[in-house]
């Protein structure tokens, strides 16, 4: 199985057409079809179902599509790292959108101490970056709890409270959960379990107006005064024009961590980065 074949396979899967994929790849259709037949023969599976409208992935094809993305990303990352050998060292790091402000001072300090290091940044949600870490695509990642930690080692950078975000008509600087009982609430699904467990631990049942996956969209709901959103404090930068009130609840906090693969000593570059982070 060659990387080139995987790239061909993914292009066909993305376009749903061998002819269209061939056009994108600047090659003719017969050799492209031949490469896919070779791949199917080698794996001894059928990857595509052919129809009058194009091609669709079989179950085996869907599995290969899911896995091949990471394989190709790892290959590209390795190629870049090898090409830089003897010139620059590469730290492959994962960043979530809401932790960039937290990690940048550490990166800045590390970069000043190590001018021979370049960075390969992978942006994504915590769960995606966690899998990238286990797959070896990145060396280290910033992550936020709640999160399974049994497969990773970690260093805590900081913790932060939750905030209540609503239309600009509430003035108290901080709140308790009890203050939110009579407000309809919007919860970011990522933190739904943590928030609900904290309410229930105090024998309270909140009015959940909406559970969502996109915090930016939830802010628009809050601006329309439909409900009060609950998010980690670092999302305050998304809340322009809204009332932001800190939730004074010791159990309702998230921790920002650095995580790396468990069970083996960090590679020297990762250890150097951890040492700098431990100094702050």
Average pLDDT over residues 231-241: 82
Highest mean pLDDT among 8-12, 202-206, 242-246, 263-267: 202-206
**Is the per-residue pLDDT at 142 higher than 90?**
yes
- Could you tell me if 265 and 153 are in contact, meaning their C-beta atoms sit under 8 angstroms apart? no
Q: For residue 83, what are its two tokens?
A: 């090409």
Query: Residue 36: what pLDDT?
Result: 85
SS3 annotation, 217-268: HHHHHHHCCCCEEEEEHHHHHHCCCCEEEEECCCCCEEEEEEEEECCCCCCH
Highest mean pLDDT among 16-30, 87-101, 145-159: 145-159
Average pLDDT over residues 245-258: 92
Query: Residue 100: what pLDDT?
Result: 87
Measured in degrees and rounded to the nearest 5, phi and psi for residue 74 equal -65, -40
Q: Is the peptide bond before 17 cis (omega within 30 degrees of 0)?
A: no
**Is the per-residue pLDDT at 216 higher than 80?**
no
- Write out pLDDT tens, residues 23-81: 888 888 888 888 888 888 888 888 888 887 788 888 888 888 888 887 887 777 777 66
Cα–Cα dist 249/247, whole Å = 6
Task: Specify the residue for token string 């994929």.
Answer: 21
Query: Residue 12: what pLDDT?
Result: 86
To the nearest 10 degrees (0 to 180), the angle between helices 3-15 and 59-83 is: 130
Cα–Cα dist 152/130, whole Å = 9
CA distances from 108 to 129, 137, 253 (A): 21, 23, 26
- Could you tell me if 96 and 125 are in contact, meaning their C-beta atoms sit under 8 angstroms apart? yes
Query: Residue 238: what pLDDT?
Result: 76
Report residue 152's pLDDT band, with 50, 70 and 90 as the boundaries: very high
Task: Specify the residue for token string 């396979």.
Answer: 9
Cα–Cα dist 135/70, whole Å = 8
Average pLDDT over residues 237-241: 79
């Amino acid at each position: 199985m060659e990387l080139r074949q995987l790239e061909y396979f993914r292009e066909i899967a993305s376009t749903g057409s061998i002819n269209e994929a061939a056009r994108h790849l600047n090659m003719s259709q017969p050799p492209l079809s031949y490469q896919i037949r070779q791949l199917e023969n080698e794996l001894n599976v059928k990857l595509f179902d052919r129809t009058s409208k194009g091609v669709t992935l079989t179950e085996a094809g869907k599995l290969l599509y899911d896995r091949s993305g990471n394989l190709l990303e790892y290959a590209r990352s390795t190629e870049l790292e090898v090409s830089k050998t003897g010139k620059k060292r590469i730290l492959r790091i994962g960043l979530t959108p809401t932790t960039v402000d937290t990690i940048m001072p550490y990166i800045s300090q590390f970069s000043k101490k190590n001018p021979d290091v370049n960075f390969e940044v992978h942006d994504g949600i915590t769960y995606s970056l966690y899998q990238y870490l286990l797959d070896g695509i990145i060396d280290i990642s910033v992550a936020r709890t709640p999160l399974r930690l049994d497969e990773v080692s970690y260093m805590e950078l900081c913790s932060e409270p939750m905030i209540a975000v609503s239309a600009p008509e509430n003035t108290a600087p901080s709140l308790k959960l009890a203050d939110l009982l009579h407000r309809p609430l919007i919860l970011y699904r990522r933190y739904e379990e943590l928030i609900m467990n904290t309410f229930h631990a105090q024998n309270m049942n909140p009015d959940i107006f909406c559970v969502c996956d996109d915090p930016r969209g939830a802010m628009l709901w809050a601006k329309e005064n439909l409900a009060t959103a609950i998010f980690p404090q670092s999302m305050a930068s998304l809340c322009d024009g809204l009332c932001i009130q800190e939730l004074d609840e010791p159990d309702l906090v998230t921790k920002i961590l650095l995580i790396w693969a468990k069970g083996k000593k960090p590679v020297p570059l990762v250890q150097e980065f951890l040492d700098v982070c431990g100094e702050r």
